[in-house]
Amino acid sequence: MRLSTEIRRAGAGSRGGSCLSLIFALLFFPASANPEKGATAGEAEWQRLSAEGKIELLGILTGGRLDILRRPRFEAYQTEIGEFYRSGGYTLKWVRNSRPTTTARGVIKQLQAADNKGLPAQDYDSPLWAERLAALEQPGRPASESQLLQFDLALTICAMRYILDLHLGRINPLVFHSTLEAGPDIRGPSDFLRKRVLSAEDVAGAFSALEPPFPSYRRLVKAVWRYRQLSGEDDGEPLPASKTVIKPGDSYSGVPRLTRLLRAR
C-alpha cells in the first residue's frame, strides 16, 4: 500500500498536521512502502509505522525540527535524514518490537563518549539518552508510536551530527582548503549509517573508520584523554592569588600546588 493511500485513510484529524504540510512532505520525501531493493534480513525486520506514524515522521522531516533535541533544528541534515528514512520505506531503524536495538545502544554509547574524541558530548544529547532509554522500557507501560519514532529520529540526527564532526571536525576544513585529503570518502552520513553502522557487530569500530588518519590527530586524542583523566583526579584547589608579580626567588605559598600540577602533566 502506498503512503498516499494511507494518508487518505488516516483522515484529516490525524496528528500529522495540515494537508499542506503533507503535500510538501510527499514532494520532498517521496515514500516507498517497502525497504530498498537488496535489503538484508535485518532490514526486513525494521519496525514499521502506522499510517499516522508515517504522517508524523514526514511532518517532522519536512519541518526540519525535532523539539526533544537540545538543538532541535536539523535543516543542515534534512536531505540526508529524509533519504535515510525514505530508503527503508519510512520504517524505524533503531527500534525492534518497540524496544531500542543493541546497535542503537552501541551508537548511544559512542555519542556519550564523544568528549574522549575532543567533541562536546552534549552536542549529541549525551545527558538525555539514559532518560530516553528508560522511557521506552518501563514495565507494563509500552511506549507510544510517537515516542518510538521521535527516539529513532533523535538518534539518527545525533548520529549524523557526530559522523560529520568526527570525520571533518566541527568546522569543516574543506571550506577553507578544498584540496585537503580528509581521509576515506564516506559519501554521506545517511549512506554510512545504512551500510556501515546498522549492520555492524562492532559499532565502535565502524565509527573509528571515520577518524582522520593523521598521526597528529592520534596524538591529540591521546592528549585529550590524558587531560580528562587528570581533571578527574584533581581536587580543583585554586592557586593562591598574589597582589604582586611573583619573581624568581620570591616566596609563594602556591608552589607545592603548582609543582603537583606541572608534574602531573
- For the stretch 242-265, pLDDT in tens is 888 988 888 888 888 878 777 765
Poorest-confidence range of 15-29, 98-112, 144-158, 228-242? 15-29
Range of 227's domain? Answer: 216-240+248-264
Whether 47 and 178 map to the same domain: the answer is yes
Residue 256: the pLDDT is 84
All three cell numbers of 169: 571536525
CA distances from 91 to 43, 44, 59 (A): 9, 10, 15
Residue 45: the pLDDT is 73
All three cell numbers of 18: 495540515
Return all residues near 168 (Cβ < 8 A) that are at least 6 apart. 174, 182
**Region 166-184 average pLDDT:** 58
Residue 187: the pLDDT is 57
**Region 30-46 average pLDDT:** 48
pLDDT band at 227 (very low <50, low <70, confident <90, very high): low
Residue 4: the pLDDT is 30
Whether 196 and 138 map to the same domain: the answer is yes
Whether 70 and 147 map to the same domain: the answer is yes
Whether 147 and 230 map to the same domain: the answer is no
The residue with greater pLDDT, 175 or 130, is 130
pLDDT band at 28 (very low <50, low <70, confident <90, very high): very low
Residue 95: the pLDDT is 95
Residue 260: the pLDDT is 76
Poorest-confidence range of 16-20, 178-182, 211-215, 231-235? 16-20
**Region 8-37 average pLDDT:** 41
Whether 186 and 224 map to the same domain: the answer is no
Whether 207 and 222 map to the same domain: the answer is no
The residue with greater pLDDT, 128 or 21, is 128
Whether 148 and 224 map to the same domain: the answer is no
Whether 168 and 221 map to the same domain: the answer is no
Task: Tell whether the model's pLDDT for residue 161 goes beyond 90.
Answer: yes
Task: Tell whether the model's pLDDT for residue 82 goes beyond 90.
Answer: yes
Q: Phi and psi at residue 150, in whole multiples of 5°? A: -70, -35
Whether 119 and 223 map to the same domain: the answer is no
Whether 204 and 226 map to the same domain: the answer is no
Whether 46 and 25 map to the same domain: the answer is yes
CB 166 within 8 A of CB 209: no
The residue with greater pLDDT, 18 or 55, is 55
CA distances from 141 to 136, 145, 154, 198, 232 (A): 8, 12, 21, 27, 38
Read off the pTM: 0.70
Whether 102 and 71 map to the same domain: the answer is yes
Percent of the chain with pLDDT over 70: 68
Poorest-confidence range of 74-83, 96-105, 176-185? 176-185
Instruction: Count how many domains the chain has.
Output: 2
Task: Tell whether the model's pLDDT for residue 76 goes beyond 50.
Answer: yes
